Structure 1
Amino acid sequence: MILNIHGFRSCGDNAKAAFLRDLFPEVQIVSPTLPLAPHKALEVLESEIERCGKPLEMIVGSSLGGFYAYVLCCRYRVPAVLLNPAVVPFVHLAEAVGPVENACTGEPGTWTAEDCLALKDLFCETAYRAEGTLVHVFLTADDEVLEPRLTRAFFRFHGRLVELPWGTHRFEGLDRLSAEIRSIYDKAAGKTIRQDELGG
């Protein structure tokens, strides 16, 4: 099973989920729409992992979803593909406090200072706790939303960081990474199969 995690004000039925379903027709792709509150969002994600009944083999997350993917990578020890991740989202989203609207559904909501504090707590809980070999970070050249400097500093010696000479925050052209993402998954799935065969 592959878990896809969307970004702030987005939804599970997005272009990245469609990309993953095309790339992995044989794999169950789980891509829920999340509530705004961080702890509730993680509860939904962990509930989906438990409910699926299949091994979690890879997590893909973009923007705020990239941060959640990192948190779950720490907890479940599976590979995480982070696409323009919000590495310190409590900083990135401080200016978003107030009324917000889901860009996919139009549903209104409120992003609060308490939500930012919850993200800060999660950051303090998980920073540098993931196994570096499991973390694959991809940054596009023209991300107009997130300043890449913090992401570079965080992941330069922790995980694998790839800076791409193309793309905006929305990560158009994700299909250019098809072979690389497929390779990350195949290595993880092979490990899962071997553990199952050994009864591990």
Structure 2
Amino acid sequence: MKILNIHGFRGSAENAAFGALTGLGHDVVSPPFDYDSVTPDKVAEKLRRIIKTDTPRYIVGTSYGGFFAALLSAETGIPAVLVNPCLMPFYHLPLLGYEGDIAPMIALFGGLAKADRSIVKCIIGGSDEIIDTHSLETNYYSAENITVIPEGLHSGATLPLAEYFGEVIK
């Protein structure tokens, strides 16, 4: 199945989600981004073009990539799977050294309100040491769509992604 994978801030296109998805036999499109040098608007534009040309059946996003996955799911109706999503990047990324303009992130954030929340699944590390606002996901998306791994950290490598993807991506 064709899946769009979006990595996180200062992450790699061949992240843990990419490895788990390709290991399950999926055809994964995973564009690399240097989020420090590309504005959020340009990232969203490029991802929208990829969706038009590659027509993925799912969007998977890790951390900051989860923000874009949630946004694109809201815009397109394509189901999304979020891995330790950073849905408030305008808050978290400056704490992690991002020096770019956060205004575009705030503008894009409003797009999440259009989400079909029933088609968004989240896996969250209960011991995430980077994102401390996962209560946003647990309050916005249905409890049955949230899986918390108590010992999981922020890195997708600390989560049972292959097993999880095998259950939620149909």
Structure 2 stretches lacking a partner, 5+ long: none
Which residue matches 1:122? 108
What is the Cα deviation at residue 139 of structure 1? 1.1
Matched residues, percent identical?
30
The C-alpha deviation readout for 1:76-127, integer Å capped at 9, x for no partner, is: 11111111111211011123456xxxxxxxxxxxx31x2x111111112x13
Q: Which has the larger radius of gyration?
A: 1
2:138 counterpart (151, 155, 176) = 155
Change (3 A) 1:6 1:157: closer
Give the Cα separation in 2 of the matches to 1:157 and 1:91: 18
Give the Cα separation in 1 of the matches to 2:13 and 2:161: 20
Structure 1 stretches lacking a partner, 5+ long: 99-110, 187-200
Q: Which consecutive aligned stretches of 4+ in structure 1 deviate over 4 angstroms post-superposition?
A: none
Higher relative contact order (CA 8 A, sep 6+): 2
- Is 1:28 paired with 2:27? yes
Which residue matches 1:139? 124
The count of corresponding residues between Structure 1 and Structure 2 is: 164
What is the Cα deviation at residue 154 of structure 1? 4.2
- Is 1:44 paired with 2:46? yes
Which residue matches 1:69? 69
What is the RMSD computed on CA atoms of the aligned residues? Answer: 1.9
For 2:130, the aligned partner's letter is V
Give the Cα separation in 2 of the matches to 1:51 and 1:127: 23
